[in-house]
Structure 1
């Protein structure tokens, strides 16, 4: 197949081609897949001027039509692209998730059971803006032996088209069939992709909460994603003030459009009078708009926070503040209004911290550090396909381990179940083998 993203085939034809390419990819050696990833990284470096030019066109076309938060995600820039390419190489250096033997057990002499990891098959990934997400997801898909059908937002159409053009051309020089990576370009194709349960094994949506909910409600295919990123930071009465202020500033202002930025700050009543003016001054110096409950507003001259503010993902320089009586009240608030993404506590009391870490129901629970660390790259996953807030695994930033499943392989020598049933049934040995 030629390395082009201009495709006149039907969606089913594309899905069938991706599935066949995924089957071929699944049986390639670790070396072959790593070589493809290395080739991809080099190609992206060489194509940097063209990729950035395409992204600049997207940004120019969208500057007046999308929110500031979405525009921040859309902007690629040389440093962000370099970081994404570094992530590609990091993934190549990670252990191969495919073919790992999780169980090797003798059921009886000559009857050996193995549980071995294998690719999921075909991933359907739908995302708004963030062109670098396309790079991360494609790399993880190749490493884990999966095909991927990508659908970027219309605001990133030029960036995505250029990226997939480069990726397919690079893969054509390797043993990976370029059909393993496909790009959809129209809004109408989203609904069609969600109906491809015969060909697609997992849908990964990345975008706004309304967008993710739409995906979850309109497909039979399993969905991995989070609909909201309502993250909290709780400042305990035993907190180090300087540390608490620095963590608050980082968690809110480092990248406010990120899903792991905090939206609510909870402060223990015993330190509110002293701490709130200090943290407010630091936040307002960063142009953060503050909203507060009644107690907070008795210390700060700021607008009132409403019930809806505790439920809102601002993705902007806006922070709601609430004073709580104790650790129990903080945990109750988080478990009521949080989105099970990432929540953190600042305290020097390890017993209080242990209570928080154990009782807060979230994919990430942190002690004395910023919620912004909730990221696949920072966790050492190389990159991530998304963040899952579901209870069942995978949970949190999902890297390679979330893109494989397993199969049971049983090898015998004429063994039959009848031998192990009835009055004279033979016993199983059930011995784990090294």
Structure 2
């Protein structure tokens, strides 16, 4: 058995202890971790600067943007950690209570998944995000970050693990892998790791899904749309489109596709394009858009652009024949991640919400709001575009499952069978599990 496998098995054992920690201990640990990030900010930035220097010219520009960490990003990590500390503890929450019979009660109780494996690329902020969510939800975690961020990841991991341990959290609950060979090894540990969460490009997520028996919770490509409806207000449409594309283009919730209702294309297309170009965005447009974009530096789009995820300052623009055509194109060419409508028509908004099959649907709001921290989840374990267990930006609810607890007083199933069987009540009641009653 390798040293890594031994560490992972130890983390699995530690998960049981972590699941039983009181809320107060977990919250004190999170506050200590936030304070440690503040006091070690200079060291974190120095480690990241070394990673950036080593990666210059070796990784794509969008990956470099994710890798770079400044003081503002560290402040965001601290705020996120404090936000998780302020959230209610999900562990032990009573989700549902059913009175099966007098004195025989069934409780559905929220509990941790156990040991979570997180594999990610180029984003050092994932370490504090995941560690805080896993700690609060009672899960142990095994990390594997990209080699391009190895110093940043190690600095953050050591700072956070030591701070948590100072408040009584078992250090064994957190494991950081650092070699590429480690990934192949943990993909085989389906009897130990309960859930894998890959964070990175679509091809990266697909590779993980195709090479393990461990359940994988990930997202497909981030092909997000903004649809400007015929009833859109001009400035609102410009503001939402520009923010969705240009606020931070190298992430999966940035808009890649802009659809414009044919009825207003002549009027709105040149104004939206002007605003995007002013932010350094390259416009790739369908042939029927071109007459409305004369004089602007626009490239003609190809068929492949309809489903492209650029992760860069590029957007594909095309004209659609109204709301139903927009919905059909989003469901056909999109990735069921995040899609937006800009409209002042309430019925159009309702139809869009019902018709678009995506994890996140925005009405008159930027696609960039599709984020665990912005959704009030404290931080984000990842984004799921699937339809099993969790969907969309995942906070602690995505790290929890449930168990059933039946409290009785000597009841037997035999009494509920046969010609003189007792009847079940199956009555849902508002009652929390309290073993001290």
Q: Shorter-chain TM-score category?
A: over 0.9
**Which stretch shows the higher mean deviation, 65-74 or 409-418?**
409-418
**Could you tell me which of 116, 136, 146 is aligned with 1:123?**
116
Which segments of 5 or more consecutive residues in structure 2 lack a partner in the other structure? 431-437
Q: Is 2:282 aligned against 1:289?
A: yes
Per the alignment, in what secondary structure is the counterpart of residue 228 of structure 1?
coil
Show CA shifts across 1:283-302 (max 9, x none).
11111111111111222252
Show CA shifts across 1:228-274 (max 9, x none).
10000000111111110111111110000011110010001111111
Q: What are the within-5 Å matches in structure 2 for residues 279-428 of structure 1?
A: 279-301=272-294, 302-428=298-424
Show CA shifts across 1:33-58 (max 9, x none).
11111111111111111111000100
Aligned to 1:3: none
Aligned to 1:5: none
Show CA shifts across 1:319-375 (max 9, x none).
100001111111111000101110001111111111111100100111111101101
CA distance in 2: counterparts of 1:353 and 1:411, whole angstroms: 47
CA distance in 2: counterparts of 1:282 and 1:412, whole angstroms: 66
Alpha-carbon distance change, 432 to 331 in structure 1, aligned in 2, over 3 angstroms:
closer
Aligned to 1:211: 204
CA contact (8 A) 2:38 2:78 kept: yes
CA contact (8 A) 2:29 2:165 kept: no
Aligned to 2:15: 22
Aligned to 2:58: 65
Q: What are the within-5 Å matches in structure 2 for residues 238-317 of structure 1?
A: 238-301=231-294, 302-317=298-313
CA contact (8 A) 2:227 2:340 kept: yes
TM-score (norm 1): 0.97
**Could you tell me which of 164, 171, 183 is aligned with 1:178?**
171
Per the TM alignment, residue 72 of structure 1 is displaced from its structure 2 partner at its CA by 0.6
Runs of 4+ in structure 1 over 3 Å off: none
Per the TM alignment, residue 423 of structure 1 is displaced from its structure 2 partner at its CA by 1.1
CA distance in 1: counterparts of 2:155 and 2:114, whole angstroms: 25
TM-score (norm 2): 0.96
CA distance in 1: counterparts of 2:164 and 2:373, whole angstroms: 23
Aligned to 2:162: 169
CA distance in 2: counterparts of 1:75 and 1:48, whole angstroms: 14
**Which stretch shows the higher mean deviation, 194-203 or 422-431?**
422-431
Which segments of 5 or more consecutive residues in structure 1 lack a partner in the other structure? 1-7
Q: Is 2:193 aligned against 1:200?
A: yes
**Could you tell me which of 99, 108, 112 is aligned with 2:105?**
112
Aligned to 2:140: 147
CA contact (8 A) 2:283 2:316 kept: yes
**Could you tell me which of 213, 218, 225 is aligned with 1:225?**
218
CA distance in 1: counterparts of 2:356 and 2:427, whole angstroms: 39
Per the alignment, in what secondary structure is the counterpart of residue 124 of structure 1?
strand
Per the TM alignment, residue 141 of structure 1 is displaced from its structure 2 partner at its CA by 0.2
CA distance in 2: counterparts of 1:286 and 1:269, whole angstroms: 25
CA distance in 2: counterparts of 1:429 and 1:343, whole angstroms: 44
Show CA shifts across 1:202-238 (max 9, x none).
1000001100000111111111111210000000111
Give the aligned CA root-mean-square deviation in angstroms. Answer: 1.2
Show CA shifts across 1:116-143 (max 9, x none).
1110000100000110111100000000
